Amino acid sequence: MKKTTLNGLDCIVENEQSSGVVVLIHGFGADFRDLAPLHSYLDPNGEWAWVFPNGPLSIPLGMGMEGRAWFPIPMEELQREIASGIPRDYAPLTPNGFPQVLAQLEGLIFELTDQYDKIVIGGFSQGAMMASHLAASCGPPLCGALLYSTVLLDQERLQKTIVKETAIPFLQSHGIQDPVLSIQNGRKLFSLLQENGWQGEWFEFRGGHEIPMTVLQKSQKFLSHLVAT
């Protein structure tokens, strides 16, 4: 494991000598260490380089602990939404600081295009919201996207920036009992990408806000297929 900085963002990098790279973006309240262990399962043969960027915002978690985020979400509001069973609809929202941090991640991707022939962009939850916008605005060498437990964010921006008529393969998963981000709003994102020519697989699982083993298995196959194409 190597730590470095790409376009001002702290990153964990694994297996950087490969010809293709997967950029995997953590969710709200986690940090770049959260998803990093997945690379050894998703890529057992070491066919991909891996980059795990760290969110620029510090989020207090209590008991002296902190996590990271890509844009702010008031914790009290989030807890009320979970308790009420009515998750927020992010489609009409442009969160504070979102355009700026998206531009920073776009710069990170641009740096990687000099080194890698193939790029896969993915993430979990809030990280996958960022990943969907990154992938939508990224041309070659983008070759795929992994979107775990996420929803449509800033629909107007996404529709304006998406590279249309480009058959980007993507895998999107969502838990049927997800109390944080509703599966209905996840389907909105999937439909929008499909309508713009992307080739997606939608996978629902019996569970909550998570990445279960069944999704990891599908992701491993997805990445193996991209290596061969």
If one looks up domain 2-228 in CATH, what number appears?
3.40.50.1820
Please name the amino acid found at residue 178.
Answer: D
Higher pLDDT, 77 or 126: 126
Q: What is the mean pLDDT of residues 19-36?
A: 96
- Cα separation, 163 vs 138, in Å, equals 7
Q: Give just the sign of the alpha carbon dihedral 132, 82, 26, 102.
A: positive
> How confident is the model over 189-211, as a mean pLDDT?
96
Which candidate, 44, 15, 12, places its Cα nearest to that of 216? 44
Please write the tens of the pLDDT for every residue from 94-116: 999 999 999 999 999 999 998 99
Burial 159-190 (b: 16+ CB within 10 A, else e): eeebbeeeebbbbbbbbeebebbbeebbbbbb
